[in-house]
């Protein structure tokens, strides 16, 4: 049982953990650079948050967040030329906290940005403290003096010339690194081209996920000069070039990253479909867009993922998926099992449960997700919990989303009085919300938790069921 539970936790980690490729290094002129690909489900609501220094003892800095300026920090840099970003990892045993105290001054990452002039200054804190909320991640940090490091759960890896991290523990050797396809690409390009703005753009482009987890944005920093280049949604031809010192001079502010890319194709398509989710509008957009087939696939995929998994706009997603399906062949990174699973989810949100079941039954290489969704739709799941939603008898479909399960929906069955889901869980409590034909709904019969962070990164209420 413990082995099965651990396997399930590992699979769930692969399902929901944000990925990224982080590279830092020094160029031939002695300037230090850092690059991050932020990989997740595509969203048009990423923020660059600007915090000028509050007094002579603090530093100005910027952070990057999903969905809301108040959501969890994904990365950041300060005016002294210190940069950090985070790789998610499979479940780890954190050995670094042994013999150390929890950091007593709030967020250790915010403290890093507000007070640390260099990587060694921050690493000195680790002689005494650890981050209580570090979780299953590793921290990649760099500074303008050329000090590079990755703080992993096992140890601290230091470097001065080049350093690459992706979603494996940097303490691992051999097979662990080889199984991450992004790592050898980044290492090869660093070896052949060195460190520069151009080489980091190429690394970002070649390690872009382009799957069901996509590269939401890329940020490239010259830590010596303060220059920053942002790229959005797999488009590496158009950059927002700014400078951290320029941003800080403008005062405290929150910048919607999408606002700096008014011509971005996926954002344009999203706006086009906002009020009129129609197939002919998508077809017309593609005809007049002057995009290659590979670019059309990217735009359709990014727009679909944003509609379906982030915004839960199932009407738009239903229009986009069959059109995207026509272009999937040009993207060799797409997994056929994941495609079929997603197609079944889309069909189920339309109330076409039988068609969804047929789609899942034709999967050649079933996964735990396809098997779980099939049991859900066939009402064959072992159960120890029931969720009931009264009313909504005219709805085509009702789905439930559990907080933390970002791309796995469960579907309810219609009853004479409403909708019912029977399922099995070992959790002590469930935080959840319903989607009735794509409209977010809470049950009036269960307690409500306000202001909970969502997959988008904003905040909304969830029902709570204690078990």
Residue range 233-238: average pLDDT?
95
Q: What is the pLDDT of residue 7?
A: 31
Q: What is the pLDDT of residue 98?
A: 76
- 332-355 in b/e form (b: 16+ CB < 10 A) is eebeebbbbbbbbbbbbbbbbbee
Higher-confidence residue of 20 and 335: namely 335
Q: Are 120 and 84 in contact (CB under 8 A)?
A: no
Residue range 185-200: average pLDDT?
97
203 has a pLDDT exceeding 90: yes
Q: What is the pLDDT of residue 16?
A: 38
DSSP three-state, residue 157: strand
Task: Name the band, by pLDDT with cuts 50, 70 and 90, for residue 461.
Answer: very high
The separation between CA 185 and the C-alpha centre of its own chain, rounded to angstroms, equals 21
Residue located via tokens 């690493």: 123
Q: What is the pLDDT of residue 337?
A: 97
Task: Name the band, by pLDDT with cuts 50, 70 and 90, for residue 11.
Answer: very low
What is the rounded distance in angstroms from the CA atom of residue 45 to the CA atom of residue 256? 6
Task: Name the band, by pLDDT with cuts 50, 70 and 90, for residue 455.
Answer: confident
Q: What is the pLDDT of residue 213?
A: 87
Burial class (CB in 10 A: 0-12, 13-18, 19+), 388: middle
What is the rounded distance in angstroms from the CA atom of residue 261 to the CA atom of residue 236? 12
Mean pLDDT of the chain: 91
Residue located via tokens 């980690």: 13
Torsion angle of alpha carbons 356, 359, 360, 365, nearest 10°? -160
The two beta strands, 101-102 and 129-130, are: parallel
What is the rounded distance in angstroms from the CA atom of residue 42 to the CA atom of residue 232? 10
What is the rounded distance in angstroms from the CA atom of residue 303 to the CA atom of residue 271? 10
Q: What is the pLDDT of residue 10?
A: 32
456 has a pLDDT exceeding 90: no
Q: What is the pLDDT of residue 345?
A: 97
350 has a pLDDT exceeding 90: yes
Q: Are 86 and 38 in contact (CB under 8 A)?
A: no
Q: How many CB atoms lie within 10 A of CB 117?
A: 16
Residue range 69-80: average pLDDT?
94
Angle (deg, nearest 10), helices 314-327 and 293-305: 160
Non-local (6+) Cβ contacts of 459 within 8 A are: 68, 70, 71, 451, 452, 453
Q: What is the pLDDT of residue 35?
A: 98
pTM above 0.85, yes or no: yes
Percent of the chain residues topping a pLDDT of 90: 77
Tokens of 140: 């990649």
Question: E strands of 285-417, at which residues?
Answer: 385-390, 398-402, 410-411, 413-415
Percent of the chain residues topping a pLDDT of 70: 94
Residue range 165-188: average pLDDT?
80
Residue range 91-102: average pLDDT?
76
Q: For the sheet with 214-222, list strands across it.
A: 162-165, 19-26, 32-40, 214-222, 227-232, 235-243
What is the rounded distance in angstroms from the CA atom of residue 322 to the CA atom of residue 319? 7
Q: What is the pLDDT of residue 170?
A: 80
Q: How many CB atoms lie within 10 A of CB 264?
A: 19
What confidence tens digit (pLDDT) does each residue in 394-433 have? 999 999 999 988 778 999 999 999 999 999 998 899 999 9
Q: What is the 3-state secondary structure (H, E, C) of 89-115?
A: CCCCCCCCCCCCEECCCCCHHHHHHHH
């Amino acid at each position: 049982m413990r082995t099965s539970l651990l396997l399930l936790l590992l699979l769930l980690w692969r399902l929901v953990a944000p990925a990224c490729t982080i590279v830092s290094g020094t160029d031939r002129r002695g300037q230090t650079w850092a690059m991050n690909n932020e990989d997740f489900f595509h969203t048009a609501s990423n923020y660059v948050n600007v915090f000028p220094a509050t007094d002579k003892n603090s530093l100005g800095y910027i952070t990057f967040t999903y969905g809301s300026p108040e959501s969890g920090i994904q990365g950041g840099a300060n005016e002294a030329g210190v940069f950090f970003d985070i790789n998610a990892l499979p479940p780890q045993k954190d050995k670094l906290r042994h013999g150390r105290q929890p950091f007593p001054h709030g967020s250790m990452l915010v403290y890093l940005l507000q007070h640390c002039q260099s990587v060694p200054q921050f690493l000195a804190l680790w002689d005494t403290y650890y981050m209580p909320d570090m979780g299953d991640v590793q921290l990649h940090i760099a500074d303008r003096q050329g000090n590079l490091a990755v703080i992993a759960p096992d140890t601290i890896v230091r470097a001065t010339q080049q350093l690459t991290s992706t979603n494996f523990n940097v303490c691992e050797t051999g097979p662990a690194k080889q199984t991450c396809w992004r790592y050898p690409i980044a290492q090869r390009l660093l070896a052949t081209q060195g460190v520069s703005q151009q080489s980091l753009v190429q690394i970002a482009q070649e390690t872009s996920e382009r799957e069901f987890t996509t590269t939401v944005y890329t940020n490239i920093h010259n830590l010596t000069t303060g220059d920053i280049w942002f790229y959005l949604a797999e488009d590496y031809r158009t950059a927002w070039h700014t400078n951290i010192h320029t941003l800080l001079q403008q005062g405290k502010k929150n910048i919607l990253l999408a606002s700096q890319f008014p011509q971005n194709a996926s954002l344009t398509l999203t706006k086009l479909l906002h009020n009129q989710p129609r197939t002919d509008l998508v077809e017309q957009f593609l005809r007049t867009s002057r995009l290659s087939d590979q670019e059309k696939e990217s735009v359709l995929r990014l727009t679909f993922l944003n509609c379906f998994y982030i915004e839960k706009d199932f009407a738009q997603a239903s229009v986009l998926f069959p059109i995207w399906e026509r272009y999937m062949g040009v993207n060799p990174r797409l997994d056929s099992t994941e495609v079929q699973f997603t197609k079944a989810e889309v069909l189920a949100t339309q109330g076409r449960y039988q068609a969804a079941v047929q789609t899942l039954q034709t999967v050649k290489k079933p996964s735990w997700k396809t098997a779980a969704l099939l049991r859900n739709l066939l009402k064959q799941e072992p159960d120890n919990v029931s969720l009931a939603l009264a009313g909504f008898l005219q709805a085509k479909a009702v789905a439930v989303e559990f907080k933390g399960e970002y791309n796995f929906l469960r579907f309810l069955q219609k009853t004479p009085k409403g909708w019912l889901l029977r399922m099995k869980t070992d959790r002590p409590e469930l935080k959840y919300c319903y989607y009735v034909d794509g409209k977010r709904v809470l049950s009036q019969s269960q307690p409500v938790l306000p202001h909970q962070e969502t997959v988008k990164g904003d905040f909304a209420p969830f029902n709570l069921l204690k078990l």
